[in-house]
Amino acid sequence: MIEVRDKEVLLSTKSTSYLLSYSKANYLTCEYYGSRLSSFEEAKPLVSDLIINQGTELNIDDKNLNLSLNQMKLELSTLGRGDFFSPSLIIKNSRSMIFDFKVDKVEVVKPIIHNILPMPRDPSEELVICLADNDMHVVVELHYILYSESDIICRYIKVINQDSQPLHILKAMSMQLGLVNHNSTLVSYYGNWANELNVQQTKITHGRIVNESLTGSSSNRHNPFFIVKEDNCNAINGNCYGYNLIYSSNFEESVEMDSFSKIRVQVGINSTLFDKSLLQGESFVTPCALLSYSSNGYNKLSKEFQTFINNHIVKKKFNFESRPIAYNSWESCYYKYNKRKIKSLIRKASKLKMELFVLDDGWFANRNDDAHGLGDWEVNRRKLPGGLKSLANYAIKKKMKFGIWMEPEMVNENSRLYKNHPTWIIQDGIHTPIKGRNQYVLDLTKKEVQDFVFDSVSKVIESADISYVKWDYNRNISDMPNSGTFFYDYICGLYSVLNRIVDKYPYILFENCASGGNRFDLGMLSFFQQSWISDNTDSFKRGEIQKGARLGYPLSVMSNHVSGKTSNQLLRYTSLDSKFNVACFGILGYELNLCDLKPVDIKCIKKQILFYKKHRDVFQLGVSSFIGRDDNSYSIQAQHNGKIIAAKYYTHTIPNPKEYHLRLLDTEKNCDYSFYSRIQNRDFARFGSLINMVSPIHIKEDGALIHFISNRFTMDGEYIHGIISGKILENSGIALPMLWSGTGISNSMSIIHDFDSRLYVFEKC
């Protein structure tokens, strides 16, 4: 709801309110952002009218000696008029670099949709506040968009040059927000390849903390999602604010505390090297920033972002559609395969009731390593006689869909494309362009390159019965030409190609990938329904990465695979069930070598797939929350339509572990829940020489006999079940089976090895 009255505007979402004011000399400020207010009057005690300039502050208004911009919670700030925070807008023309913006017009409009940059779909209301500097003939529109049933506000700005002199935009943040300082902490991500989305907490102290990317993508180093939380805020209690940017290139987000301990938050395009020039009549629209507030801790905030992404970012056709269980050839084959091998993998995957076969890298040109073939998107007939068509038909005959990997934005030097079009790569024309993973990035700012990418993807999609495309992007950008908007133009070029492709092929399921999570953001998710968030499929590390991702993104956009027991990334050995219990929270897939499976593994995977299919709605559409940490474990849950699935992930085992209880969050207090544990296999070989305590003959710990037995036979692990009321489940939780303690064994005991885990299902009766 948007209410406008004299010099004030109140934006109200489901449970938050945002109060704007321009009562102080027409400068636009945010006087309050927090729990929902019932009226303007309720805001009165929250707003301090008194401003007395402190120390060396400057007065902006002669009539009001107490008015300093530095003291105000400005929604837009510039340089040179007494505000000494880092400005949210830096612009200049040949006449001046000082701009002084005041409110000129306030309008509630029918929501406006631009089509250069992605925007959330299905808005309900929009407020536009025009700020003008009439001496400089520049107008800045501040847009605030609301969505029914959501606590997210979307913001962007539009800069319009009405002056005859060209205007240079050097920095244009999509949003700025002043916060009352209650001792706060910034929660943001850091990472790198196979190690994405680590959550870090930084105490906000005096100075400016910047969360940004300069790689040409949103990057695996940081991510545009972040939280500012008050220090006493935890998963379920306390105040916090979440932010994200719908943009896939260099972003810049800062939290600044000035020497008066006031806090300002900014979110937008990275200003490093940014210089956009506007002629008279031209305008520039920034990407959309999202913000939300929760008074109930960061789980509630995550829930808002997760729900919003499903309802307003992911394309409507796919947002609630169940996603297939994939088999992906990468970790089992890399580049080394032929038609026979792929067909036998299709047969095995189909027998295990997987639903989509994805042929990863290696199927085109002379692509037998990463130094060849990118750009030449024609099937390698020596490897795959019959082409993609015959493989796709074979998969379909075996009741699976068929999908393909592509990396359309790239080219290898060893390719026909590079030989024919060496000028299509990103280069400055002076330095020898540098390579990453033996490849160059095609310059998508050029229309002919955009057309080439569009045509090559179209040809591949149309060459066979393809229903899925994994779109990869495996290096960062370097050697940019001398342009103040190169990164912005690149991503607009990409968005324009993606728009054309998803419009032409609305039925294709696209998976976004960039060496895993090097471009995992809301811009890409506006086109591609799901993302491969990391190349790391080790169960423990992957669990941490998914835990980080869930803070700001829903399960429906994360695809996760069960890979071989020994992790290719870390060489850590964990069971297939450990891997499944992590991978199932999101879109499940497999990429281990199905031809090498032992009989017990086949049984185990069959059980996993049955379980996943039964609960797919919760795993893919559930709202997921972090429950808590306990000694050597942590637990999470996903909840959908009255069903909750919880996971308990152990790290290392400890002697004489204590009694564990599993408590859930957000249960329906007046309902009963029936619950049960997922039964997992016990592997005889992992009892070591202790097996001799029960064996009539001596069995060597690592001998052929124990391997013979453990490859073929297994024993069901513990099973618990029962009924419990929602209230008790939340307050006290269910008692979990006793963990292995080294002094005895029983069937109802949990035999936990390092990095093992368990799943529990709770259904409303």
Beta-carbon count within 10 A of 582 CB: 29
Taking the complex as a whole, the smallest distance from the CB of residue 451 to ligand GLA amounts, in Å, to 25
Nearer to ligand GLA, 163 or 360 (CB): 360
Element (H, E) at 330: helix 330-333
Q: Which of 578, 580, 526, 582 is nearest to 553 (CA)?
A: 526
Among 87, 120, 408, 516, binds ligand GLA (CB under 6 A): 516
CB crowding 327-338: b at 16 or more within 10 Å, else e: bbbbbbbebebe
Site for ligand GLA in 153-192 (CB under 6 A): none
Nearer to ligand GLA, 226 or 363 (CB): 363
Among 258, 304, 360, 511, binds ligand GLA (CB under 6 A): 360
State yes or no: residue 472 binds ligand GLA (CB under 6 A): yes
Nearer to ligand GLA, 538 or 718 (CB): 538
Taking the complex as a whole, the smallest distance from the CB of residue 494 to ligand GLA amounts, in Å, to 17
Judged by CB under 6 A, the stretch of 153-161, 509-517, 651-659, 676-684 that binds ligand GLA is 509-517
Encoded amino acid at 554, one letter: P
The helix/strand/coil state of 644 is: strand
Taking the complex as a whole, the smallest distance from the CB of residue 755 to ligand GLA amounts, in Å, to 22
Among 133, 304, 535, 756, binds ligand GLA (CB under 6 A): 535
Rounded CA-CA distance 316/266 in Å is 30
State yes or no: residue 412 binds ligand GLA (CB under 6 A): no
Among 31, 304, 361, 601, binds ligand GLA (CB under 6 A): 361
Site for ligand GLA in 686-745 (CB under 6 A): none
Judged by CB under 6 A, the stretch of 297-305, 512-520, 545-553, 617-625 that binds ligand GLA is 512-520
Judged by CB under 6 A, the stretch of 153-161, 415-423, 510-518, 687-695 that binds ligand GLA is 510-518
Rounded CA-CA distance 147/151 in Å is 8
The helix/strand/coil state of 43 is: helix
Query: Is residue 694 left, alpha or beta, with left meaning phi > 0 and alpha meaning psi from -120 to 50?
Result: alpha
Nearer to ligand GLA, 152 or 391 (CB): 391
The token pair at 26 is: 């027409």
Under 8 Å between Cβ of 364 and 380: yes
The helix/strand/coil state of 392 is: helix
What stretches of 102-179 adopt beta strand conformation (E)? 102-109, 125-133, 138-146, 152-161, 167-179
Q: Which of 435, 543, 442 is nearest to 497 (CA)?
A: 442
CB crowding 660-692: b at 16 or more within 10 Å, else e: bebbbbbbeeeebbebebbbbbbbbbebeeebe
Q: Which of 475, 38, 93 is nearest to 282 (CA)?
A: 93
Beta-carbon count within 10 A of 723 CB: 10
Nearer to ligand GLA, 253 or 535 (CB): 535
Q: Which residue is nearest to ligand GLA (CB)?
A: 361
Q: Which of 225, 155, 123, 217 is nearest to 524 (CA)?
A: 217
Taking the complex as a whole, the smallest distance from the CB of residue 418 to ligand GLA amounts, in Å, to 18
State yes or no: residue 513 binds ligand GLA (CB under 6 A): yes
State yes or no: residue 196 binds ligand GLA (CB under 6 A): no
Among 78, 474, 581, 677, binds ligand GLA (CB under 6 A): 474
Site for ligand GLA in 75-114 (CB under 6 A): none
Beta-carbon count within 10 A of 182 CB: 13
State yes or no: residue 515 binds ligand GLA (CB under 6 A): yes
Rounded CA-CA distance 326/589 in Å is 4
DSSP string, 346-380: HHHHHHTT--EEEE-S--BTT-SSTTB-TT--SB-
The token pair at 257 is: 């505390």
Encoded amino acid at 674, one letter: S
- Angle at CA 186, nearest 5°, toward 182 and 187? 130
Rounded CA-CA distance 587/531 in Å is 9
Catalytic residue among 472, 521, 577, 683: 472
**Residue 535 a catalytic site member:** yes
The token pair at 313 is: 């970012």
Taking the complex as a whole, the smallest distance from the CB of residue 621 to ligand GLA amounts, in Å, to 24
Nearer to ligand GLA, 268 or 362 (CB): 362
Nearer to ligand GLA, 174 or 537 (CB): 537
* Phi, psi of 117, rounded to the nearest 5 degrees: -110, 145
Judged by CB under 6 A, the stretch of 312-320, 455-463, 511-519, 676-684 that binds ligand GLA is 511-519
Taking the complex as a whole, the smallest distance from the CB of residue 404 to ligand GLA amounts, in Å, to 11
**Count of residues near ligand GLA by CB under 6 A:** 11
Taking the complex as a whole, the smallest distance from the CB of residue 85 to ligand GLA amounts, in Å, to 39
- Residue that the structure tokens 């939300």 belong to: 292
Taking the complex as a whole, the smallest distance from the CB of residue 141 to ligand GLA amounts, in Å, to 39
Nearer to ligand GLA, 220 or 306 (CB): 220
Nearer to ligand GLA, 88 or 412 (CB): 412
Taking the complex as a whole, the smallest distance from the CB of residue 510 to ligand GLA amounts, in Å, to 14
Taking the complex as a whole, the smallest distance from the CB of residue 74 to ligand GLA amounts, in Å, to 42
Residues 6+ apart with CB under 8 A from 228: 179, 184, 185, 186, 187, 204, 240, 241, 243, 255, 263, 265
Judged by CB under 6 A, the stretch of 376-384, 394-402, 440-448, 513-521 that binds ligand GLA is 513-521
Rounded CA-CA distance 102/380 in Å is 62
Catalytic residue among 361, 443, 521, 535: 535
Taking the complex as a whole, the smallest distance from the CB of residue 434 to ligand GLA amounts, in Å, to 19
Site for ligand GLA in 391-410 (CB under 6 A): 405
State yes or no: residue 330 binds ligand GLA (CB under 6 A): yes
Nearer to ligand GLA, 358 or 605 (CB): 358
Nearer to ligand GLA, 211 or 223 (CB): 223
State yes or no: residue 364 binds ligand GLA (CB under 6 A): no
| Residues in touch with ligand GLA (CB under 6 A) | 330, 360-361, 405, 472, 474, 513, 515-516, 532, 535
Residues designated as active site: 472, 535
